[in-house]
Structure 1
């Protein structure tokens, strides 16, 4: 099997893709900027291509001997420039397939900056001539980890989400789907939308966190303008304030309630529920340690 290059390899999904490919014994190369961080996140024995999206030479070097690319990068104003640079270098290198990670709702001209960036990259990929697969993901369950601190300290989940429902997905399931698309033939030219098994509200998220942590987590529906003001006051970049304000507006109107059976169709198993994700990350949300059982040595006291 030829080498697969994973860009954004220490990121939320990219790191999981590296792990999944390696579990399948697929030759994998991770494009990373910080090898020390990569060692911590990915392990010491991963084939690293150290470079930067802004360094064309390092991209060309990373693509040497590569047939397939998993394309993702962090959000930010340079996202289009970064990912189109990889696409152009891949086209010049004769890469046979790019699997592009994008998002539900992406389109060029979207008022949500990351959706616009993804849409513009998709258009560039279509023009490049490189055989491509579009992997379109719904909202990540891992976004809830950004709320871990107030949940730990206040037992409250703050969000301007109303009663909107979201077909949110565990990044691990995105990675398993990606691994299938990267290692099996016949997907070029297709688009796959991956979601969790059901659309759930933030109230249901709070209920699942309560069950997982053993603490009463209360959902607080923050008025949208108050949430926006808090984001501005935090010093968050303007583009991110704009995006978060808009995405929660979409959520309030059930714009991310879409669910599909794609994960099951590609992988042969059901995607994880948020309850599963909450249990797996219960410690991050401040889970209460279970009381020792009667007769447990932990109850012993020196006398």
Structure 2
């Protein structure tokens, strides 16, 4: 692992916010062998055990300048902040820092469902609306329930005691493909992810 390494190659630099979470950590592992520079954004870069060749950059939402510094030279950003009372504030700050740093494509992991005032779905809607107003190519991914969550819940489902899962469904491979897609740098899209559906509606940005 290299901490706060400068950009030394012409390969696309992809930053992962939420690199220690279930989706983010898997995404980092999938991207590590790809011909890209992967950067994990974290408060504690020295504490991470990352794949060889993956960099780590320190970010602290109480220090906005660290967000801009960490994203210098980044072409694409994946945003997956854990559900919390600070989610809207933190993700919007990260989006603004990305725009200020010249990031060309932002991929936001959102939540699948109808418009609602219930959180965390309502938080995701606020963040999506803010992202849509930015002059940057973006992709919003709205998953329902990840297959691995269903697998872990097999016993509950079999015993008919399964009520609901506040998780997501879809394919992390689809997220990886979105980050690697060069055409995504030219447009914005919203994708609803299910077990086998990947629906995209593309709108060209200025």
Q: TM-score range by the shorter chain?
A: 0.7 to 0.9
Number of paired residues?
186
Secondary structure, in 3 states, of the residue corresponding to 2:19? coil
User: Deviation at 1:119?
Assistant: 0.4
> Taking structure 1 as the reference length, what is the TM-score of the superposition?
0.55
CA distance, structure 1, for counterparts of residue 150 and residue 63 of structure 2: 33
2:190 — aligned with what? 191
1:46 — aligned with what? 54
Q: Is the 2:111–2:142 contact (alpha carbons within 8 Å) kept by the matching residues of 1? A: yes
User: Deviation at 1:146?
Assistant: 7.1
User: Deviation at 1:69?
Assistant: 0.5
Larger Rg computed on CA atoms? 1
1:137-193 per-position Cα deviation (integer Å, ceiling 9, x unaligned): 112234457769xx59xx9574325xxxxxx636xx22x111211111223212222
> Taking structure 2 as the reference length, what is the TM-score of the superposition?
0.78
Alignment gaps of 5+ in structure 1: 162-167, 198-259, 266-303
Alignment of 1:199-218 (within 5 A): none
CA distance, structure 1, for counterparts of residue 151 and residue 48 of structure 2: 21
User: Deviation at 1:79?
Assistant: 0.3
1:51-107 per-position Cα deviation (integer Å, ceiling 9, x unaligned): 223331221121011111111110011100000001111111121110111111164
CA distance, structure 1, for counterparts of residue 91 and residue 159 of structure 2: 37
1:33-61 per-position Cα deviation (integer Å, ceiling 9, x unaligned): 2335521xx34652001222333122112
CA distance, structure 2, for counterparts of residue 158 and residue 38 of structure 1: 37
CA distance, structure 1, for counterparts of residue 39 and residue 18 of structure 2: 11
1:182 to 163, 179, 183: 179
CA distance, structure 1, for counterparts of residue 104 and residue 141 of structure 2: 17
1:169 — aligned with what? 169
CA distance, structure 2, for counterparts of residue 141 and residue 38 of structure 1: 26
User: Deviation at 1:121?
Assistant: 0.2
Alignment of 1:1-303 (within 5 A): 1-35=11-45, 37-39=47-49, 42-43=50-51, 45-105=53-113, 107=115, 110-144=116-150, 158-161=161-164, 169=169, 173-174=171-172, 176-187=173-184, 188-197=187-196, 260=197, 262=198
Q: Is the 1:4–1:68 contact (alpha carbons within 8 Å) kept by the matching residues of 2? A: yes
Structure 1 residues 142 and 52: CA distance shift in structure 2, 3 A? farther
CA distance, structure 1, for counterparts of residue 47 and residue 118 of structure 2: 30
Specify which structure has the higher proportion of helix.
1
Alpha carbon RMSD of aligned pairs, Å? Answer: 2.9
CA distance, structure 1, for counterparts of residue 62 and residue 189 of structure 2: 29
Q: Is the 2:15–2:41 contact (alpha carbons within 8 Å) kept by the matching residues of 1? A: yes
Specify which structure has the higher proportion of strand.
2
Structure 1 residues 123 and 106: CA distance shift in structure 2, 3 A? farther
User: Deviation at 1:27?
Assistant: 0.9
CA distance, structure 2, for counterparts of residue 89 and residue 81 of structure 1: 12
